[in-house]
């Protein structure tokens, strides 16, 4: 039985992780810590969890983290940008593992973080030693490791869509465009006017328009990793356009990935290539060109589903890839990573279908 | 007072046209014809119109069309692909004008229609003589004409987003990608499972994936027109990727248009260029990069709003452009075209703000 | 041309009033005042109004209200409970009219306000002299008056549903139950977690459960008015159950009103009774039992639509009545009241159909 | 391992049952039969089930039902009204159990079915011998039985809301009014215009207005059962008003139950009464008056949650009760009944929290 705690307890990702963990046969919750909602039951924040967890939220203090670290095997951390190092070291000092849901330690080169997130990186050594892990792409790096950087939602859907074709060495450099759309849980749970149902329903818009979204370099680093570039030299990476939009729905990410290819494919060839590439991956499903994937098929799950196609008129690959942004895009993948670093089958507790409809 | 009739009465576009016409001071409805809903009041199909129109739907017969043509100045036509010629000639035979909402007569070269819509074009001469008209782009061609091809929804939002930059001759050939998203009214009113609220809410997906959507050549023809290519030689046009998606909302189209530019711009320069370009257009609104447009701002209107931006890292223009697909994308533009060909100010009856929220 | 100003500028009701006023041919906006959003353009709060109003929001000070009162004929006021008297007296001091959107002056007996809203009523004389006006019920009281209390949304839909049957003297005392459902705009625009799309979509719940909603005594006072009871003696009024719920939609109120009747009706008799009763009311539409009204039919309008029915098994009247909560339920009715007290036809600027779909 | 089959395979209830059964450790699917979708994989109808079930839908023939009955322990049946007897007898002839999701065998008195559903009851003996079972109310009747009538969705939420207070003998006769609201899955999966997202979103309306919904007598029979009336003499039952409405959401039922009580309660007393009454029921959760239950808390689950309150001004009980209409309202309760008649703990496979948000 793997004992786990979580720093950051009242956001959607922690709520989803706890929901999924109900079905996980090998884990046990120790402690939930946050600086918000202290001394309230976790089910006061997630009414659906009443009867499943009876923990109160503990104050996020060094003392409580130390205590939780002593009693846990793994600690999930989700804190504001720049804050992870402090808590990570307490956990690591006790010889325990961390899975960081945030972006602090996702980059091999701290300068990339500094450029896109701003400020001085609080702990370049920690980020260098962390293992960024989309299991389908980097699981070999992560096994047995202690510090996991859980990937961002958009980079997960995008990287899995590009992985097979990048391995064919068939993508023309600097031609990748990612048009991404996310449900509103991706913008967090803090009340703001633009997320009100009254303002957001029947509404759709781009944000971070024209470049600048922080998931851009994370995607570029993944492409660099797959294509064998030096992760410490971002100037050698491919530049991509990553353009996100906000969907009038709760969950779900779709990315439509465009790339000019150096050779032609038929849709059937692409389907075969992708299907074969992912044939042993329990969480990836590939569909033929006639069946565009739908976000609803992944609702509440750890699946990534995709439809790869090719437009011969323009020599462009077009892949539509979908995940649940707080499932495979956050909590699900965090549990998959927990399984991975704790020696459990990756699928433990995660093989269940989407709610539909 | 301009008298009008409509062939095709029970779909969303006719309903929206009738709604908008309530506020139009210079028009009067003569007759509504359809082969569906015959002898029912139009408000049985659009309950909100009760008390505003008391017409019954007449059967779509040659006799009724002839009678309507005699009594009307303009006839709006929305019939299945390939069917427009028959009705058009009856109306034209009476010396009256038609505005065709469908796609039959949108292409200068009937071969383009045949390639993308299938079958033999029923009347190549009619399509040659029709004037395809987005007023902001081609109003000079349309004034006083009798046969108007009302543009498609996606091509309207896309063409207006590209028009200013194409006129700068700054777009690198064959680099245009259009990632488009539409509310479900775009798929019509006929009940199908994928449009049920239960299946469509919290859902998002691509369709016509990998190329093949029929609005592709319409967009390409518009680009060819703007850049001075021969509309009868599609092999000389630019090829674009046009990839549509279905949004879980009733109305609204957003297109995100990507194009590699041959010179660099700042966001401020682009904002100035676009603002200046459209400064006399009452239905186009341009916003700076910090304000991405939202579909809800155009809800129920004839406006097109857009935010042009530039990503210097990748040398790509990224424009987000929004319309109401059954407003400026169909019924609103049809009324604008009616105003245009009847010598009224284009804004007559159309200057009202979106319902918000 | 009637000049108007508004105190309280950034909420949904003011936004809707401004939207509707675009189509009103006899009014002109003077000034918008609020303590929030000062010095911002009103279209920064309502992007859809850009190009239609260019006023900036002025600070809500005595000086600005005095200035606005001098230049206006009517001032709309929407301020927090208990605050209206101060501003009202400035306007009245200038000999101008007020229409209060809030609840401060809705009760003849200030003690009722004190019981349900809490605290000491700031100006019992003002509330005694104000005319509470649902025009279809009390228009004769309001003509030419200077102080109008604009009714609440729920009481409007409910009172109109009960008015014809109460006038028949056919309702058994204390048997009225009102099960009400409102779109989320009814809860205002201030961001709170329960109104986020992520929490509110696919969700429905009662609130103020078991009694206690402040619209209860307003409904009871209206029933007392219609049945000829003394408005100053609430202990003689009928008690009703008014139970509101929150709908996962932006606009729209439906109330299902139950009442035991002292004589039996057929559905056809009720339809005839109601239709006849409201036959001269341009904003009330009555439907037969086979056609239950839908909130969407009133979207963005000043209409109230209703279907009266009778269950002979239980001897109960069941009426379903719908309005747009910020249309007929607030802004629309406020404009109707403005028309009424300024001597214009009540329908001026308000006869337009709902947007559908 | 309990082997089960299902007659009626492509509707939402079967899809939900299969989804829930993935987590059920003691069951195994044998066969799915329907006259629609024959020879298609079940995941072509429920894409989210791909990888979890590989059965094809078999034609609904006597031969296939006989074969399925031989290989199964339990057969779920969901067929149009009046059709269940034929299939039931084949299954019972093989000595196997049936759980009927429809309404054919829910009434002790076939005359009640005939009055509300129309036509001649095809098998009065079968309905007499069937056990209608909401486990929390009638589990003792069902243990070990072979023919279960699975309750309707509305009657489940309503009966559980009334059960504790009816057992107190505190409800004044013929004062019960049930105002019910359902998500659109309650209207089935067949495409109709009123269920399109475009027509149903931002929309709310009553249906079966004024009485006549078929769940009315089912609720009355349950009240009769609880209060000890003769189920074969419907003329002795209490009459209730049951008024349903359609919500713009996929899942979820809320019923607000009103009843005049013969003695007064405080909210606290009611909370204690209800909490105590249901303290051993794993699927019922009771909340205090300050916490109105929300449909979203039950999304995808077998839970019923309720908030009982009392309005002393009107002497009326007001209970808000929520379930997932295709969870506890159909598929969940069917599995609970399967557990019950097969000797498994009722909670087997059903103890998981709602997806939230």
Residue in B203, B247, B314 closest to A241 by CB? B314
Q: How far apart are CA A352 and CA C265, in angstroms?
A: 55
Contacting B residues, span 140-169, partner chain A, CB-CB under 8 Å: none
- The gap from C-alpha D270 to its chain's centroid, in whole angstroms, comes to 25
Q: Do D192 and B193 touch (CB under 8 A)?
A: no
User: Mind giving me the DSSP string for C268-325?
Assistant: HHHHHHHHHHTTT-TTEEE--TTS--BGGGGTTSS-EEEEEEEETTTTEEEEEEEE-T
A170-228 per-position pLDDT tens digit: 999 999 999 999 999 999 999 999 999 999 999 999 999 999 999 999 999 999 999 99
Q: In the prediction, which pLDDT does D144 show? A: 82
Chain B contact for C355, CB < 8 A?
Answer: yes
Q: Under a CB-based contact definition with an 8 Å cutoff, are residues B257 and B318 in contact?
A: yes
Other C-beta atoms within 10 Å of B131: how many?
A: 19
Q: How far apart are CA D326 and CA D150, in angstroms?
A: 12
Average pLDDT over residues C305-331: 98
Q: Under a CB-based contact definition with an 8 Å cutoff, are residues C245 and C206 in contact?
A: yes
Q: How far apart are CA D152 and CA D150, in angstroms?
A: 7
Q: In the prediction, which pLDDT does C144 show? A: 81
3.10.20.30, 1.10.10.60, 2.40.50.100, 3.40.50.720: CATH of A2-151+328-341: 3.40.50.720
Q: Looking at the whole model, is its pTM more than 0.95?
A: yes
According to DSSP, the residues that pair with A354 across neighbouring strands are none
- Phi and psi at residue C343, in whole multiples of 5°? 80, 15
Other C-beta atoms within 10 Å of D54: how many?
A: 11
Topology alike, domains D2-151+328-341 and D154-325: no
**Residues of chain C contacting residue D309, judged by C-beta atoms under 8 Å apart:** 209-211
Helices (H), chain A: 12-21, 42-45, 62-71, 84-93, 110-117, 124-129, 135-142, 153-167, 197-200, 215-226, 267-277, 332-341
**Residues of chain C contacting residue D251, judged by C-beta atoms under 8 Å apart:** 202
Instruction: Say which residues have a Cβ less than 8 Å from residue D15's Cβ, sequence separation at least 6.
Output: A356, D45, D46, D49
Q: Do A313 and B211 touch (CB under 8 A)?
A: yes
Chain D contact for A353, CB < 8 A?
Answer: yes
Q: Which residue of A has its CA nearest to C248?
A: A197
Query: What CATH code is assigned to D154-325?
Result: 3.30.360.10
Using CB atoms within 10 A of its CB, is residue B288 exposed (0-12), middle (13-18) or buried (19+)?
middle
Query: What is the nearest CA distance from D86 to chain C, expressed in angstroms?
Result: 34
Would you place residue C52 in the very low, low, confident or very high pLDDT band (cuts 50, 70, 90)? very high
- The crossing angle, in degrees rounded to 10, of helices B215-226 and B135-142 is 70
Other C-beta atoms within 10 Å of A278: how many?
A: 19
Q: Do B318 and A250 touch (CB under 8 A)?
A: no
Q: Is the dihedral of CA B294, B297, B302, B306 positive or negative?
A: negative
Write the DSSP symbol of residue A147. Answer: E
Q: Do C201 and A250 touch (CB under 8 A)?
A: yes
Q: Do D289 and C209 touch (CB under 8 A)?
A: yes
- Phi and psi at residue B245, in whole multiples of 5°? -140, 160
Q: In the prediction, which pLDDT does A152 show? A: 97
Q: In the prediction, which pLDDT does B144 show? A: 82
From first to last of its 357 residues, what are the pLDDT tens digits of chain D? 999 999 999 999 999 999 999 999 999 999 999 999 999 999 999 999 999 999 999 999 999 999 999 999 999 999 999 999 999 999 999 999 999 999 999 999 999 999 999 999 999 999 999 999 999 999 999 988 999 999 999 999 999 999 999 999 999 999 999 999 999 999 999 999 999 999 999 999 999 999 999 999 999 999 999 999 999 999 999 999 999 999 999 999 999 999 999 999 999 999 999 999 999 999 999 999 999 999 999 999 999 999 999 999 999 999 999 999 999 999 999 999 999 999 999 999 999 999 999
User: Mind giving me the DSSP string for A55-106?
Assistant: PBEEE--HHHHHHHHHH-SEEEE--STT-HHHHHHHHHHTT-EEEE-SSTT-
Q: How far apart are CA D76 and CA D97, in angstroms?
A: 9
Q: Under a CB-based contact definition with an 8 Å cutoff, are residues A325 and A182 in contact?
A: yes
Q: Where are the domains of chain C?
A: 2-151+328-341, 154-324
3.30.360.10, 3.40.50.2300, 2.60.120.260, 3.40.50.1000: CATH of C154-324: 3.30.360.10
B25-80 per-position pLDDT tens digit: 999 999 999 999 999 999 999 999 999 999 999 999 999 999 999 999 999 999 99
A228-277 per-position pLDDT tens digit: 999 999 999 999 999 999 999 999 999 999 999 999 999 999 999 999 99
Would you place residue B259 in the very low, low, confident or very high pLDDT band (cuts 50, 70, 90)? very high
Q: How far apart are CA A256 and CA A237, in angstroms?
A: 21
Pairing of strands A57-59, D241-246: unpaired
B310-322 per-position pLDDT tens digit: 999 999 999 999 9
Residue in B52, B202, B353 closest to C353 by CB? B52
ipTM of the complex as predicted: 0.97
Contacting B residues, span 208-267, partner chain A, CB-CB under 8 Å: 209-211, 239-241, 243, 245, 247-252, 254, 256, 258, 267
Pairing of strands A97-100, A147-149: parallel
Other C-beta atoms within 10 Å of D72: how many?
A: 24
Residue in B191, B201, B202 closest to D191 by CB? B191
**Residues of chain B contacting residue A299, judged by C-beta atoms under 8 Å apart:** 202
Query: What is the nearest CA distance from C18 to chain B, expressed in angstroms?
Result: 10
Would you place residue B174 in the very low, low, confident or very high pLDDT band (cuts 50, 70, 90)? very high
Q: How far apart are CA D16 and CA D7, in angstroms?
A: 14
Write the DSSP symbol of residue B331. Answer: I
**Residues of chain D contacting residue C289, judged by C-beta atoms under 8 Å apart:** 209-210
**Residues of chain D contacting residue B12, judged by C-beta atoms under 8 Å apart:** 198
| Three-state SS at A127 | helix
Q: How far apart are CA D297 and CA D295, in angstroms?
A: 5
- The gap from C-alpha C242 to its chain's centroid, in whole angstroms, comes to 16
Q: In the prediction, which pLDDT does D46 show? A: 97
Other C-beta atoms within 10 Å of B52: how many?
A: 17
Q: Which residue of D has its CA nearest to A25?
A: D23
Instruction: Say which residues have a Cβ less than 8 Å from residue C1's Cβ, sequence separation at least 6.
Output: C26, C27, C28
Q: How far apart are CA A102 and CA C27, in angstroms?
A: 54
Q: Do C196 and A201 touch (CB under 8 A)?
A: no
Q: How big is the C-D interface in CB pairs under 8 Å?
A: 164
Residue in B183, B210, B249 closest to A289 by CB? B210
Chain C contact for B201, CB < 8 A?
Answer: yes
Res C14 pLDDT > 90: yes
Q: Do D300 and A49 touch (CB under 8 A)?
A: no
Res A143 pLDDT > 90: no
Q: How far apart are CA B109 and CA C349, in angstroms?
A: 47
Res A144 pLDDT > 90: no
Which of C287, C314, C317, C324 to mutate to test binding with chain D, by most D CBs within 10 Å of its CB? C314
Pairing of strands B253-260, B316-323: antiparallel
C-alpha to C-alpha distances, C113 to C105, C106, C116, C217, C221, nearest whole angstrom: 8, 8, 5, 9, 11
- The gap from C-alpha A163 to its chain's centroid, in whole angstroms, comes to 16
Q: In the prediction, which pLDDT does B38 show? A: 98
Q: How far apart are CA B99 and CA B113, in angstroms?
A: 18
Pairing of strands A253-260, D27-34: unpaired
């Amino acid at each position: 039985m793997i004992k786990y705690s979580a720093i950051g307890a009242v956001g959607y990702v922690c709520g989803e992780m706890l929901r999924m963990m109900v079905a996980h046969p090998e884990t046990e919750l120790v402690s939930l810590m946050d600086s918000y909602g202290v001394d309230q039951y976790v089910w006061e924040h997630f009414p659906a969890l009443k009867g499943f967890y009876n923990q109160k939220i503990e104050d996020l203090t060094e003392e409580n983290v130390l205590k939780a670290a002593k009693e846990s095997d793994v600690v999930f951390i989700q804190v504001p940008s720049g804050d992870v190092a402090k808590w990570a070291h307490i956990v690591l000092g006790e010889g325990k593992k961390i899975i960081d849901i945030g972006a602090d330690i996702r980059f091999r080169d701290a300068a990339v973080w500094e450029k896109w997130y701003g400020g001085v990186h609080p702990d370049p050594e920690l980020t260098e030693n962390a293992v960024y892990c989309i299991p389908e792409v980097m699981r070999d790096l992560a096994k047995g490791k202690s510090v996991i950087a859980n990937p961002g939602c958009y980079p997960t859907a995008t990287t899995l869509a590009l992985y097979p074709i990048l391995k064919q060495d068939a993508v023309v450099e600097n031609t990748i465009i990612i048009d991404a759309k996310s449900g509103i849980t991706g913008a967090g749970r803090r009340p703001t006017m633009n997320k009100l149902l009254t303002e957001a329903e029947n509404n759709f818009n781009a944000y971070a328009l024209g470049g600048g979204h922080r998931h851009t370099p994370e995607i570029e680093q993944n492409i660099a990793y797959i294509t064998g570039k030096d992760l410490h030299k971002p100037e050698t990476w491919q530049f991509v356009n990553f353009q996100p939009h906000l969907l009038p729905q709760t969950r779900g990410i779709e990315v439509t990935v465009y790339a000019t290819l150096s050779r032609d494919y038929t849709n059937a060839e692409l389907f075969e290539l992708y299907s074969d590439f992912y044939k042993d991956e329990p969480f990836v499903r590939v569909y033929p060109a006639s069946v565009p994937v739908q976000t609803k098929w992944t609702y509440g799950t750890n699946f990534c589903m995709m439809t790869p196609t090719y437009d011969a008129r323009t020599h462009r690959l077009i892949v539509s890839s979908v995940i649940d942004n707080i499932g495979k895009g956050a909590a699900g993948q965090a549990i998959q990573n927990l399984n991975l670093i704790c020696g459990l089958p990756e699928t433990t507790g995660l093989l269940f279908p989407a709610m539909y409809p």
